[in-house]
Chains A and B, each alone.
Chain A
């Protein structure tokens, strides 16, 4: 239709080719961006998350001390309350713990670890889940059966239990020296194992529908490779639900990491995540040193809350039924 009007109406010279918009401009004018601008909660959550991510990223340059450097800790700086308290001291904005460690510095370094582990475990789960789901849905047969049965078994055990078992078995079978070095990879693995199934099921369902359609048959006829069909033709069809699930799972992964570390099967005290900080602070609950536990807990809640708010908004914004 557009071609027709262009060729007949010579009087108004229209550009033969539509002016190619820059990627950025296209993004700014998309429905998603519009929806984002009209949701104050989404904007708020995105700003909060950006703030947390940036302060975590630049932690070494903006914190008053390196909380891991034992030489920097001075015992006479221990147990200082937050700055607004009468006994508060500059530069310890949120006070110090029993070893003289600045709480704010510990929180920023801890957020770093929490965010990295959360992000990495979602990526690993995505990679595994998408490939297994594509293979299962596209090829079907026994390989589908094996993969999906494995998923059934994983889903028939509570998430947190699988994660605890994996970390427990891994840490207990490793030699002491390697335990702390590998703590983060073990956690990433432990959280990714029970969470890939959801992605696999979504993409499998989509692959089973798409592989019967004509365009896939046609692609097969002209001998397009299987992996190419899967990646370029089938996968893009189910990216929307995957994106929403991945965002919500990012929040869940950070929560799981914090829970494992709190239970004592996660990050060790010398490289603490937010969960480890809360675990340490929990010991001083009855001694009046509330700031050691409360501030890391608040930071953890803020991170998960902002991720969940973005996830909720994405789910609604990408749902065609709600448009």
Chain B
């Protein structure tokens, strides 16, 4: 187990170093950092002095090492665009994205699990077939199209819910939350639904597949034979055994949801990290791009590693297989 843990950890570190190399390469060679930072009137000496001070004359390896050391300490430099510390900028935007992803995840579970159970239990019924078709439609709808349609229906036509922004927020320490005010909650509804559509279908399909397996097992039949009501067998006995993979999927998908939130945030002008990133892309604000890339990849890799390790801890067979396969996850 220890060997597996070390191997998996080393793999994660290696991946992060590679991502850092990518981020560093973009930062260093894509446009000249000095030209981005100085103003028009700066003399040649000023520029040379800044270049020296930033350490841009050092060797590639030295600079890369410095980049990684700073990144580990959460220092990604100063944004080119608004001259603020990048980590402060991202820190301000993080709560908005986190709340959006959290609510979208909750919606996907609350809606997706019952739908999955229903399609499995009433297999081949008209309702189940309709829901199955609906799940293919759900996978095929681009999330920005869902967002636009929701805005058209509920903001433009009906005028029920706000189409952009985050509403009123309350600060709890450094965390600004929109969950405590009515306008904040109203503003969250449409973005969260549009972000969760894809995830709902994913959860639904997984629950359906798992339920179909479980419903065939002996303990379900015995529970029925013992006289346990059908509803209880389905929703308590059988469903409980389907939840482990659902939890895993949800955990691993959080990284994807954070990344995909940037599309939703663009549609709804939601002031999260994703919108910050898209604006950074338009203004070629490299430090912000690099920091966002590193942060999202880190969350992604960390979640994957935790899931892998948990699985290996639960199921010893995976340790040997995974160790042999070089810890490749897919």
Contact = CB atoms under 8 A, between A and B. Distances in A.
**Which of B148, B151, B163 has the most CB atoms of chain A within a 10 A radius of its CB?**
B148
B209 interface: no
A158 interface: yes
Nearest to A155: B330
A160 interface: yes
A165 interface: yes
**Which of B140, B144, B278, B281 has the most CB atoms of chain A within a 10 A radius of its CB?**
B140
Interface string A243-281: 000000001000100110011110000000000001000
Given A156-B297, A161-B293, A201 B330 contact: yes
Interface residues of A, number: 44
A312 B140 CA distance: 12
A267 B216 CA distance: 50
Interface in B290-330: 293, 296-297, 300-301, 304, 326, 328-330
Nearest to B26: A169
Interface string B153-168: 0001000000100000
Size bracket of the B interface = 35 or more
A153 B142 contact: no
Nearest to A45: B136
A153 B259 CA distance: 16
Interface string B261-272: 011001100000
B142 A158 contact: no
A156 B304 contact: yes
Nearest to B149: A297
A159 B267 CA distance: 19
A159 B148 CA distance: 22
B1 interface: no
Interface string B125-142: 000000001001101111
Contacts of A312: 136
Nearest to A290: B152
A156 B300 contact: yes
Contacts of A145: 326
Contacts of A297: 145, 148-149
A305 B137 contact: yes
Given A158-B255, A158-B259, A161-B259, A259 B144 contact: yes
B136 A305 contact: yes
Contacts of A161: 259, 293, 296-297
17 contacts: A149-B14, A152-B15, A153-B18, A158-B258, A158-B260, A158-B300, A161-B297, A164-B262, A172-B30, A173-B30, A251-B140, A285-B151, A293-B152, A301-B140, A301-B141, A301-B142, A305-B136
